Amino acid sequence: MIDIKTLTIKQAHADLVAKKYSAKELAEAVLVEAKKQNTDTNAYAEFFDDVIAQAECADKMLAEGKGGELTGIPIAIKDNMLMKDHIAASGSKMLMNYRAVYDATVVAKLKEAGAVILGRTNMDEFAMGSSTENCAYGPVKNPHDLSRVPGGSSGGSAAAVASASALGALGSDTGGSIRQPAALCGVVGLKPTYGAVSRYGLMAMASSLDQIGPFAKTIEDAEILFRAINGHDPMDSTSVPDDHALRNVPKKKEKLTIGIPESFVSMDGMDPDVRENFRSTIEALKKAGHTVKSIELPSLPHALAVYYVIQPAETSANLARYDGIRYGFSKEADKLMQVYMESRGEGFGKEVRRRILLGTYVLSAGYYDAYYNKANAVRRMITDEVMRAFTGVDVIAIPTTTSPAFKIGEMTSDPIKMYLEDIFTVPANIAGIPGISVPSGMVVRDGKSLPIGIQFLAAPFAEGYLFTVGRDVEKNMG
């Protein structure tokens, strides 16, 4: 009997090498659990019908001595990543019947490693949301309390790992869409440095912000997944050359200097239990030998406003291709303009339409300079400020979220309140730096224990520092 609930990627690899069970047996066991859990969580949009065939190929690789750390490991992918011959809908009615004709680079790397890709996970439509309620396949529910959200937009991937419905998963993070659901579901979530992981085959939302990253049960597993998908890709013009990345990787350290932007983490509106958990986690890291110092990042609170100008602007441009003519959902009409309006009006959900309208507005004549150019100027200011901070500290620590998971439907009528959920996560995307959310404890709400997380940010290509501090959080807060 395989204990799927506690099984990690690291342990599963050791078990497969030791022939305690086969990749096929592991895939079957995880599939049974995933399908059982999915009736409650709705984490998956689809389980692929070739899972067992993939597992049999992995067993062959292992038998021939060609297997690696991910060979035979059951992994889930977010519904906005292309896998050849499989549907990729990005959680939208617009692409409900779109079948990919090629593999995303990250999917190709998983296949090459011999991973078993279980299926596609539900997400906020076109990755727009912080709760995975805006999905054509219905909302995803938090495995810790089915009346609450898992976070978003990668809520399906986070819920899959949290419910033992996959040993690891991939998500995309444009403003916190990996780290926020990781915190609310009690798993590890990494947003790598912008350009460290190829976005080729990822459906674009905001191209200067999007980044693919892993979900896992442990820091060690997240590191394994990151190593597998990391690296330069000539098919992605934003992908950073390997020699540049290697030149910027800092020297390894076991004890780090952690910066706390006090005015930012002390702002009003944070749940008292989350604030207390953050402080106690920092104290535990001090006792573990890390140095903690206060820093000031006065521009950081402006990151959210910058994000909600730049992201809708880029979204409106990227989603212009879904017009009811070339591909995707199309509504027949007598006139061309009616085809556009009715196809996009019915094919896109409410939140997507809202952001397209907002983005089109800030890019329009008369407002481009007032909003979009000004947002980019403030973005440069924030980035410069954060980079200067890294000359004195190795990582910056802030909470991942302002509160534990909120109730399904609680914020859907108030988009501004929903957008404020991203306040601690958007700075990493604005500055293009890596960020990780690590489980740091539990709080009780309505008789249910809900997870919360702590977030660490590092300079570009310093993911190693994030893994170092994350391991100490696991040791001291586990």
Work out whether strand 74-78 and strand 168-172 pair parallel, antiparallel, or are unpaired: parallel
- Please indicate whether residue 177 is annotated as part of the active site: yes
Q: Which of 22, 177, 198, 299 is catalytic?
A: 177
Return the axis-axis angle of helices 303-318 and 374-389, rounded to nearest 10°.
Answer: 130
Cα angle: 20, vertex 23, 26; to 5 degrees: 75
Q: Which of 92, 153, 198, 330 is catalytic?
A: 153
Reported pTM: 0.97
| pLDDT for residue 415 | 86
| pLDDT for residue 360 | 95
Work out whether strand 257-261 and strand 188-191 pair parallel, antiparallel, or are unpaired: unpaired
- Please indicate whether residue 198 is annotated as part of the active site: no
Residue type, 269: G
- Please indicate whether residue 165 is annotated as part of the active site: no
Q: What is the pLDDT along the chain (478 residues), one digit of tens a residue?
A: 899 999 999 999 999 999 999 999 999 999 999 999 999 999 999 999 999 999 999 999 999 999 999 999 999 999 999 999 999 999 999 999 999 999 999 999 999 999 999 999 999 999 999 999 999 999 999 999 999 999 999 999 999 999 999 999 999 999 999 999 999 999 999 999 999 999 999 999 999 999 999 999 999 999 999 999 999 999 999 999 999 888 888 889 999 999 999 999 988 889 999 999 999 999 999 999 999 999 999 999 999 999 999 999 999 999 999 998 888 899 989 898 999 899 999 999 999 999 999 999 999 988 999 999 999 999 999 999 999 999 999 999 999 999 999 999 999 888 888 998 999 999 999 999 999 999 999 999 999 999 999 999 999 999 999 999 999 999 987 5
DSSP category for residue 165: S
| pLDDT for residue 318 | 95
In CATH terms, 9-247 corresponds, of 3.90.1300.10, 3.40.228.10, 3.30.70.890, 3.40.50.1820, to 3.90.1300.10
What tokens were used for 161?
A: 């790992």
| pLDDT for residue 478 | 56
- With H, G, I as helix, E, B as strand and everything else as coil, classify residue 25: helix
Q: Which of 10, 22, 24, 78 is catalytic?
A: 78
Q: Give 86-89 contacts, CB < 8 A, sequence gap 24+.
A: 86/46, 86/48, 86/120, 87/46, 87/120, 88/120, 88/203, 89/45, 89/120, 89/136, 89/137
